[in-house]
Amino acid sequence: MISSILDNDFYKFTMQHAVVKRFPKARARYQFINRGGHQFPDGFAEELRNAINGLAQLQLTRHEKTYFAATCPYIDPTYFDFLQGYRYDPDEVMVRQQGRELQVAVEGYWYRTILWEVPIMSLICELYYQMTGQQRHADETVMLTAREKIEKYRKLGVTIAEFGTRRRHSYAVHQLVVQALRQYGENTFIGTSNVHLAMQYQTKPIGTHAHEWFMFHAAKYGFKMANLLGLEHWAEVYRGDLGIALSDTYTTDVFFTQFDKKLSKLFDGVRHDSGDSLLFADKTIRHYQQKGIDPLSKTIVFSDGLNYDKVARIAAYCRGKIGFSFGIGTNFTNDVGLPPLNIVLKMTEAFPEEAQWDPVIKLSDDPGKHTGDTETVKLAKQILMIPE
């Protein structure tokens, strides 16, 4: 199911590099959240445990290291040496099952545990479909579906990246999808978040950072400083590369109060991941205009539950106002005739150096996507003056 250590999302490696440089003593805890209330078959935890144990055998090959270093010259050579020596430690992961309910938790140094989220989620998805005996579409149909989608997007004149590792049906389906996108998406398909498949199909690995980067900064520096210092530290590590800023960890409105003129000029754009996409576009355009920056010189990467109709609506609205691109996940990698799983694995606590375990939360622009301890969510809203 997972045969390469690079079978993971690009932003996990870019964040790991930054964590190694800036927060090597920090610790983190993650919890599995079954948003869809899926019922897991008997023996699922045992099978998942075996699959997780198997990941300990993975290591960065010489060929993978050469590819990764050549593709990402903005990452320090010392990081690739570190990654070559990195091994997954299954002892960092707890897996239990009570009846049909699955429990998964991860704990350890942040620079190590940061790589667990995506492969565990993809393993859960693939094992679920295997153990429940659900039959997907044939390979030819999977490829045809991806081909038809990318050809429709090409007619729209938009650029599309594939972001679907976490909730893919399976590795085999993911391969077929990227193959079809690469083959039929010329000038439209710009890359994949999956580094292994980017290498395999000679396309670009796409991504920057995730919510956990800012969630940790809140635990270390406080909610009011999380966005500002998160972006400052990112810029110190990457010096202008990887310049798409994630905006909704503590709501977009709060983000834009801290996205000052320096950062607005330095970063190439922002990523939309929750809430109304057209309202977000308006806020982003207005923010750049107020800073004296031409919105057409910047890009919004839309990545929230996209399908063709939503992409078409956003593109029509933004064209001529601001640059835009799209990252599509589950709609590519789990459109095989079966219901996709609605699951996440999120950081829940952080332990900065010389501190204590603190709960971490996310306040997205969609209240249904808030994650974390209820009391901490309430406290953060009070501190950030976010109305109930």
Name residue 344's beta-bridge partners. Answer: 33
Does residue 287 surpass a pLDDT of 80? yes
Same domain, 73 and 129: yes
**Which structure tokens are listed for 69?**
């270093």
**Overall domain count for the chain:** 2
Residue 170 DSSP SS3: coil
Q: Say if residue 190 is in the same domain as residue 308.
A: yes
Residue 354 has pLDDT above 90, yes or no: no
pLDDT at position 387 over 90: no
pLDDT for residue 367? 75
pLDDT value, residue 364: 85
Binned at pLDDT 50, 70 and 90, residue 355 comes out as: confident
Give me the mean pLDDT over the 114-125 stretch.
98
Tens digits of residue pLDDT in 124-182: 999 999 999 999 999 999 999 999 999 999 999 999 999 999 999 999 999 999 999 99
Buried b (16+ CB within 10 A) or exposed e, 96-127: ebeeeebebebbbbbbbbbbbbbbbbbbbbbb
pLDDT band at residue 123, thresholds of 50, 70 and 90? very high
Residue 99 CA to residue 282 CA, distance in Å, equals 47
Q: Is residue 2 part of a domain?
A: no
Q: How many CA atoms are closer than 13 Å to the CA of 203, on its beta-carbon side?
A: 27
Q: Read off the pLDDT of residues 314-323 as tens digits, 9 standing for 90 and up.
A: 999 999 999 9
Quick check: is 323 in a domain?
Answer: yes
* Same domain, yes or no: 367 and 301: no
The range of the structural domain enclosing residue 325 comes to 139-333
3-state helix, strand, coil in the chain (%, to 5): 50, 15, 35
Assess if residue 367 is contained within a domain.
Answer: yes
* Three-state secondary structure of 22-90: HCCCCEEEEEEECCCCCCCCCCHHHHHHHHHHHHHHCCCCHHHHHHHHHHCCCCCHHHHHHHHHCCCCH
pLDDT tops 80 at residue 53 = yes
Residue 181 sits in the same domain as residue 270? yes
Q: Would residue 62 count as lying in a domain?
A: yes
Domain boundary (302, 318, 333) is at: 333
Q: Is the pLDDT of residue 369 over 80?
A: no
Exposure of 380 in the CB half-sphere (CA atoms within 13 A): 27
Same-domain pairing of 263 and 359:
no
In a domain, 3, yes or no: no
Last residue of a domain, one of 333, 350, 367: 333
Quick one: 182 and 125 in the same domain?
Answer: no
Q: What is the CATH number of the domain that holds 22?
A: 3.20.140.10
Domain identity same for 305 and 209: yes
Q: Are residues 98 and 148 in the same domain?
A: no
Predicted local confidence at residue 42, as pLDDT: 97
Question: What confidence score (pLDDT) does residue 388 get?
Answer: 74
Cβ density class 234-273: b for 16+ within 10 Å, e for less: bbebbeeebbbbbbbbbbbebbbebbeeebbebbbbbbbb
Q: Is there a single domain that holds both residue 176 and residue 300? A: yes
Residue 101 has pLDDT above 90, yes or no: yes
243 found inside a domain: yes
**Amino acid at residue number 212:** E
pLDDT, one tens digit per residue, over 252-279 is: 999 999 999 999 999 999 999 999 999 9
Same domain, 109 and 160: no
- 28 and 158: one domain? no
What pLDDT is stored for residue 164 in this prediction? 97
**DSSP 8-state symbol, 339:** P
More confident residue, 386 or 178: 178
Alpha carbons 39 and 12: distance in angstroms, whole number:
28
Does 1 map to a domain? no
Burial status of residue 59 (CB atoms within 10 A of its CB: 0-12, 13-18, 19 or more): middle
Is the per-residue pLDDT at 119 higher than 90?
yes
Q: For residues 268 and 210, state if they share a domain.
A: yes
In a domain, 145, yes or no: yes
